[in-house]
């Protein structure tokens, strides 16, 4: 399939990442169906689009006509069959759990036409662990967006050993058509490029906080003021979701069995309290109320 033939996009998952990837594609002119099994997530994603697009018009980033067209381009559903059956390209953005992703890809493989690429937005789970759940392993790969997906420019495209050159190049071009800057990884490696580098920083920051060397606030200040990062590691975890960091660490631990890969006790404590960051109103910092 050529990129010019891609008109309809299915995004599975209406969470923070899925809803933003879907809306980004709609703004860029694709016809998008954003799907989630939970009605409340579907409603939340639709409400986000209804709030975000007028906000872009008010700021002069979109014309009213562009915003109206983008909203017409996107629809929401709880029915995977409805969302995926006529899709030309699929992006999965569900929870970072291998068993769940394999089931989603198994279903997508049954529903979608044989030539359709099935991409996973997973930030850590490589597509070779998913591809054999389908009859099209050469068309299953990682297409990793960064949070917030409507703002961040980079997309990591990971070409595992099972992925065809055609699939990798199509996905690179899809990223460009969505207004992103793609980078191609020619080998699968845990954490890809950015998160592999970032994990080192996160782990050190968590260790410093756990050992009470410095406060969360002071660690963040050191990283922003000395290293020039736009936000510190704890603010970043609050933005992306502390529960996501927990899920990623647990998935890695289940794979390796190495106790060093377990999530930090501080992460476990936050998850146990339901303090996931901005989306719950409290994480490392107190935001007063849950974000919408």
Give catalytic status of residue 81 as yes or no: no
Give catalytic status of residue 128 as yes or no: no
**Mapping DSSP to helix (H, G, I), strand (E, B) and coil, where does residue 88 land?**
coil
* End-to-end Cα distance, the chain: 37
Burial class of residue 208 (count of CB atoms within 10 Å of its CB; 0-12, 13-18, 19+):
middle
Return the H-helix or E-strand segment holding 207.
helix 194-210
Neighbouring-strand partners of residue 120: 92, 142
Given the residues 144, 245, 264, 275, the one annotated as active site: 144
Q: 286 — alpha (psi -120 to 50), left (phi > 0) or beta?
A: beta
Given the residues 92, 96, 156, 188, the one annotated as active site: 156
Return the H-helix or E-strand segment holding 113.
none
Give catalytic status of residue 245 as yes or no: no
Given the residues 75, 128, 195, 203, the one annotated as active site: 195
Residue 112, CA distances (Å) to 89, 108, 194 in order: 9, 6, 31
Given the residues 122, 123, 142, 264, the one annotated as active site: 123
Give catalytic status of residue 156 as yes or no: yes
Catalytic positions, written as ranges: 123, 144, 156, 195
């Amino acid at each position: 399939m050529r990129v010019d033939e891609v008109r309809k996009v299915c995004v599975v998952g209406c969470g923070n990442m899925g809803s933003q990837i879907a809306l980004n594609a709609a703004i860029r002119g694709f016809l998008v169906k954003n799907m989630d099994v939970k009605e409340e997530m579907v409603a939340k994603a639709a409400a986000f689009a209804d709030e975000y697009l007028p906000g872009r018009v008010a700021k002069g980033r979109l014309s009213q006509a562009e915003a109206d067209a983008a909203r017409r381009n996107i629809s929401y559903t709880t029915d995977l069959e409805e969302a995926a059956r006529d899709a030309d390209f699929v992006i999965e953005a569900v929870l970072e759990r291998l068993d769940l992703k394999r089931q989603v890809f198994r279903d997508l493989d049954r529903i979608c036409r044989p030539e359709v690429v099935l991409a996973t937005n997973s930030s850590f789970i490589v597509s070779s662990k998913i591809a054999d759940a389908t009859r099209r392993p050469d068309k299953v790969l990682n297409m990793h967006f960064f949070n917030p997906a409507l703002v961040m420019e980079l997309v990591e495209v990971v070409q595992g050993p099972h992925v065809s050159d055609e699939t990798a190049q199509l996905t690179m071009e899809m990223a460009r058509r969505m207004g992103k800057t793609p980078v191609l990884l020619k080998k699968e490696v845990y954490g890809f490029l950015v998160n592999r580098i970032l994990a080192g920083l996160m782990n050190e920051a968590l260790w410093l906080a756990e050992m009470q060397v410095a406060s969360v606030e002071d660690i963040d200040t050191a990283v922003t003021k000395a290293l020039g990062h736009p936000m510190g590691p704890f603010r970043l975890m609050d933005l992306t979701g502390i529960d996501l960091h927990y899920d990623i660490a647990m998935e890695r631990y289940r794979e390796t069995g190495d106790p060093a890969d377990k999530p930090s006790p501080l992460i476990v404590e936050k998850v146990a309290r339901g303090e996931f960051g901005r989306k719950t109103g409290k994480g490392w910092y107190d935001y007063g109320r849950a974000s919408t």
